[in-house]
Every structure is written in structure tokens, then in C-alpha cells.
Amino acid sequence: MKPGKKSKGLRIQTGELKGRLIPSPVSPEGKSNFTPAIIKKSLFDIIESLQLQGRLNLEDSAFIDLFAGSGQMGIESLSRGFARAVFLELAWDRFESLKGVLDKLGKPHLVLRKDAFRFHSGFDIPEKTKVYFMDPPYSFWDKKTEKLKNVVEEIAQNEPGVAAIIVQSPLPLNWEGFTPRSFGRNTLNVRVLA
């Protein structure tokens, strides 16, 4: 890295891995794709609330990130006490980068180069409960909204032990069972199943 040049990445906010840098592969358009800090905080506040209500025990739960990108949300979940994180990322450069980062962390994880539309459930993980997080590229919402909704419905109906499904989108979703929480141009849509 050249002197004076900042590294591309984001630091883990809280927990055991606090302060560690998560590198972000830059897309061909020159953009990195990080979830805003306020969204991340809100998501983990929701998870903490489920814990306090006795609906979720992190030590026996997996966090499943279906469009992992840099992996920041799943890595943050590991830092905050989830037993395992599962990452799906189809883009080769992001997948390779994520594998390297996760191997260095030494935390239980499963990283797969898979298409979340086709391989979104049925993972061989021993944890009793699961939290699914979905943050597809915002460009997907123009033409693939129905496909994204189908993925969510299949998980809710067929996957055992799902405590919550959380979907980040550019606008609130009017999907059955979801409660939207908007933050500027981003919305967290939450469906609690536990």
C-alpha cells in the first residue's frame, strides 16, 4: 500500500473481533458494497432483542448471509457470539477474498461459491437455530423482486429452526409477516419466526 493511502475496508464494530479490518474487493465499477453502520447496528439490536426475549441463543445459532459480498455482516455476527456463520457469494473475486479473511479469523464458518437463488437452504450445520440475512445488490430489486420473495418463502416454510429472516432493501417490502424499518435510502425488513 502506498504511503498516505487508506486501505479499502471496514472495521468490525463490536465483540471479540472488534477493530479487525474486513477488506472489500472493489467491483469493476469501482464501488465497494458495505452495509451502512446504522443498518448494521439496527440489525444486531433486533438480534439482541430476540436474545433477551429468550427466542434466540447465539451460542447455538448460525447466521446465514445469502449475498455475502465482503462478509462484513456474517463476520460481525461471529464477533458478537454466533456459533457459526454461513456465507454465499457467487462473484469469484469476492468469494476468494472472503475465504482468505475467514481462514485468518479461525472462527466456525462455511463459505460457498453458490447462487443464493438456487442454494439458499439445506446447509449441513449443527446449530439449532438460524438467522437468515439477505442483502442482494439493489439492482436486483428492479427485476428480481418476485424471485427474492420466493427464496424467503421457501426458507420460512421449509427450513427448520429459523428464528428470523432479515432482508435489506432500498424500499419497505409489503411481504407477509415482515415489519420494515427504514433508514434513509435503506430498509431492514424483519420477519420473526421463533
pLDDT score recorded for residue 121: 86
Q: What is the pTM of this model?
A: 0.88
Class of domain 36-49+56-118+128-192 (CATH, top level): alpha beta
Using the 8-state DSSP alphabet, how is residue 176 labeled?
T
Whole-number Å distance between alpha carbons of 180 and 169:
10
Work out the average pLDDT over 143-152.
96
User: Over the stretch 92-142, which tens digit does the pLDDT of each residue have?
Assistant: 999 999 999 899 988 999 999 999 999 998 888 899 999 999 999 999 999
Q: Residue 27 — φ and ψ, nearest 5°? A: -70, 165
Q: pLDDT per residue over 13-61, tens digit each?
A: 676 666 666 766 555 444 445 677 888 899 999 999 999 999 999 999 9
Nearest by Cα to 82 from 36, 128, 21, 19: 128
Sign of the CA dihedral with 101 first, then 29, 64, and 186 last: positive
Q: Please tell me the distance from the alpha carbon of residue 189 to that of residue 177, in angstroms, as a whole number.
A: 10
Is residue 126 classed exposed, middle or buried when 0-12, 13-18 and 19+ CB atoms within 10 A define those classes? exposed
Q: How far is CA 97 from CA 81, 119, 151, in A?
A: 23, 20, 26
Structural domain boundaries of the chain? 36-49+56-118+128-192
